[in-house]
Amino acid sequence: MPARHARARLPEIAAVLLLAAGCAGPDTPAPGSPDAETSQPAGGGPSARAATPPNIVVILADDLGYGDIGAYGAKRIRTPNIDRLAAAGLRFTQGYASANVCSPSRAGLMTGRYAIRSGLAFKVVDAGSTHGLPEAEETLGELVKREGYRTLYVGKWHLGNFPEHLPLKHGFDEFFGAPASNDMPNFALYDGDVLVEQPVDQSTLTRRYTDRAMRFIAENSDAPFMLFLAHTFPHIPLYASGEFLGKSGAGLYGDTVEELDWS
């Protein structure tokens, strides 16, 4: 079984872990509180900028229950690496997704706008959909790319099935993942705009996403980068690799979450 301890710390990485209702770490200090005042940058307040741009890693889990990680009280499922991020960072416990289903919530996260403004407010993009995230929408990928960042999107996209809707048209230099949800008949794995696999061996997805993400980090150690790692699981149907299958003691769901934590 792969080691469950954290991977070696990589320099200059700012990790953002998006899990159900929030991120990880101590609660955000209230404005005006002593904690908030002492947390300001020493060099001149909120507008002070780091001399070296930080690398950015966004990790998005699909359908992960709020209470299914140790940082939020889980007892049966072991998530030591996620819990370590929680202890070292901030938990936005009053944060909410912009919608309660896949495509609208992803549109809100990617653009910082209500999903209705991009035409994705009311339902998921299904296998027969011809609509998706409009190319004119400005995304997180485009914002950081203008600042000189290299960008990679790995994993589930679910913001459109056609080339004009996919990550390569929305600020990402590279894409390795699936345009659709894993419960849809058009579920397929792409590398850029090249079809890699269909049908997909879903038991390998978490490991393959992780391997591609780590390769990108290694290849861009000398320049600022943003990695957006959007895991397919624990959205149903559930799959886990042989190393984790049946090992959690919490069923297949627990197996997938523990493999996610390993990633």
Active site residues: 102, 158
CB atoms within 10 A of CB 29: 14
How many angstroms separate the CA atoms of 4 and 258, rounded?
9
Phi, psi of 214, rounded to the nearest 5 degrees:
-65, -35
Cα–Cα distance between 240 and 262 in angstroms, integer? 12
- Number of CB atoms found within 10 A of residue 134's CB: 18
H/E element, 261: helix 251-262
CA gap 229, 170 in Å, rounded: 15
DSSP string, 193-210: TEEEESS--GGGHHHHHH
Give residue 177's region: left, alpha or beta (phi > 0; psi -120 to 50). Answer: left
